[in-house]
Amino acid sequence: MIISDILRYKTSSGGSDRPGLVTIAPGDTVADLVATLARHNVGALVVVDGDGGSVAGIASERDVVRRLADHGNDLLAQPVSSIMTTTVASCASTEGVDDVAGTMTERRIRHMPVIDDDRLVGIVSIGDVVSSRIRQLEHDRGQLEQYISS
């Protein structure tokens, strides 16, 4: 199974043509970030320069919480660029799910942008990866049961 399978599943489950992809600009405020995270019920947003531009970073709920401890409510007026992670681990849609899961586990990250030909095409979460693995195991079990009963 590859990452494009996850993106395709997310699309067929009621997502957009760029599944799970909600972005924010580096100059938007942390308050905008928090509101967008809540509105879309997601844990992280890819930070992009310009309209559909390059990936500048990623900002998560964890980034907000950690900075709130230091800055209090003043943080909400600061730009997203002040809290985002700029070294972003990404993958291609052709990469194997197991390889991406390994990278996410090793680097302790929960969200990974999917980039094909220098274009952001989606984002996968550790939850997406685990769900795809469960679907694969259920499929395999069904195949085995069918084989045994034949």
> pLDDT by residue (tens digit) across 73-117?
999 999 999 999 999 999 999 999 999 999 999 999 999 999 999
Give, to the nearest 10 degrees, the angle between helix 3-12 and helix 97-107.
100
Would you place residue 20 in the very low, low, confident or very high pLDDT band (cuts 50, 70, 90)? low
CA distance 109 to 80: 19
* Mean pLDDT, rounded, for 121-139: 91
Q: For 114-128, b where at least 16 C-beta lie within 10 A, e where not — what string?
A: bbeeeebbbbbbbeb
Of 131, 100, 124, the closest CA to residue 44 belongs to 124
Of 51, 48, 46, 53, the closest CA to residue 22 belongs to 46
Would you place residue 135 in the very low, low, confident or very high pLDDT band (cuts 50, 70, 90)? confident
pTM (2 decimals)? 0.83
What lies within 8 Å, CB to CB, of 72 at 6+ separation is: none
Return the higher-pLDDT residue of 20 and 148.
148
Domains in the chain: ranges and CATH: 3-149 (3.10.580.10)
Share of the chain above pLDDT 70, in %: 92
Of 137, 120, 126, the closest CA to residue 16 belongs to 120
pLDDT at 16 over 50: no
> pLDDT by residue (tens digit) across 21-46?
889 999 999 999 999 999 999 999 99
CA distance 38 to 96: 30
